[in-house]
Structure 1
Amino acid sequence: MTYLGIHTTFNQSKKEDYKEMLEKINKRLEGWKSKLLSQAGRSMLIRTVASTIPTYQMSTHMLPKSISESLNTSFKNFWWGTTKDQKKKENWDYERWKT
């Protein structure tokens, strides 16, 4: 059950409870064309629009760590302009590259 977009009851799987929020954020990020925006524009959109949705959820409940990590990943991919297709093509090892 939801009230004002926030779940009032939770299932055993917390990921399922926050799935709708993650989909909503990902749809917004996909709707914005990151290739057409500067990095300053991308960071402004993330700070002002995309991050307000989880902030609203966190006003009443603490987000699970896995949800927080997937939000971070979505925001980072949008900021760097990475799409799902590009991510599959780039299979090089970041740890090896760092050394």
Structure 2
Amino acid sequence: MISYEKSEVTLGASVKPHQSLQVSSILNMKTVEKHDKYLGLATVAGRPKKELFSTIKERVRKKLSGWKERNMSAAAREVLIKSVAQAQLTYAMSVFRVLEGVIDEVHGMIMRFWWGQKGTEKRIPWLAREKLVCPKAEGGIGFRDLRGFNTALLALLL
């Protein structure tokens, strides 16, 4: 059921004020000029994409940094990466082509977490990222290739 108390409607600039009032009363929803966020993403058109995706990167960073404090097995790190960190991008990737730089930064954060790096500490990555995104049946870990995942989600819209 629709929660009318939580729902809002945004109408185009060509809609006249009296029409806006009619739509608002018919739908029993408040009319707003713009929505600040929808499912965690800013909805304001025209904002620089880098700024738009910075909130997603920040959410992934916070999740990973919170987990770094605990000692975890490789299996626990794998589950957290697959079920939480990579899932943070799903909605944004189904709507937008995410910038290459943003994908690289998120991949980097995930890989540093996977290899157990803390802060500026350097660790040896024993497998290349390309190998980690391979399916387990092919000797990889099965992490998502975020570029390919973004393309696949956008292809569903066609």
Which residue does 2:117 correspond to in 1?
82
Unpaired runs of at least 5, structure 2: 1-35, 124-158
- The two structures, once aligned, show a CA RMSD in angstroms of 1.8
Letter in 2 for 1:70: E
Q: Which runs of 5+ in 1 are unaligned?
A: 91-99
Identity of aligned residues (%): 33
Q: Highest Rg: 1 or 2?
A: 2
Distance 1:17 1:57 in 2: 10
Distance 1:84 1:31, change over 3 A: same
Q: State the secondary structure of the residue aligned to 1:84.
A: coil
Partner of 2:72: 37
Task: Report the alpha carbon displacement of residue 80 of structure 1 after superposing the two structures with TM.
Answer: 0.3
Cα distance in 1 between the residues matched to 2:67 and 2:117: 13
Count residues with an aligned counterpart.
87
Q: Which has the higher helix share?
A: 1
Shift in CA distance, 68/16, structure 1 to aligned 2, threshold 3 Å: same
With normalisation by structure 2, the TM-score equals 0.50
Q: Alpha-carbon deviations, 1:61-86, whole Å to 9, x = none?
A: 11100000000000000000002231
The reply on whether 1:53 has 2:105 as its aligned counterpart is no
Contact 1:22–1:71 under 8 Å retained in 2: yes
Tell me: higher relative CO, structure 1 or 2? Use CA pairs within 8 A at least 6 residues apart.
1
- TM-score normalised according to structure 1 size: 0.77
- Deviation of residue 35 (structure 1)? 5.7
- CA 1:46–1:40 in structure 2 vs 1: closer, same or farther (change >3 Å)? same
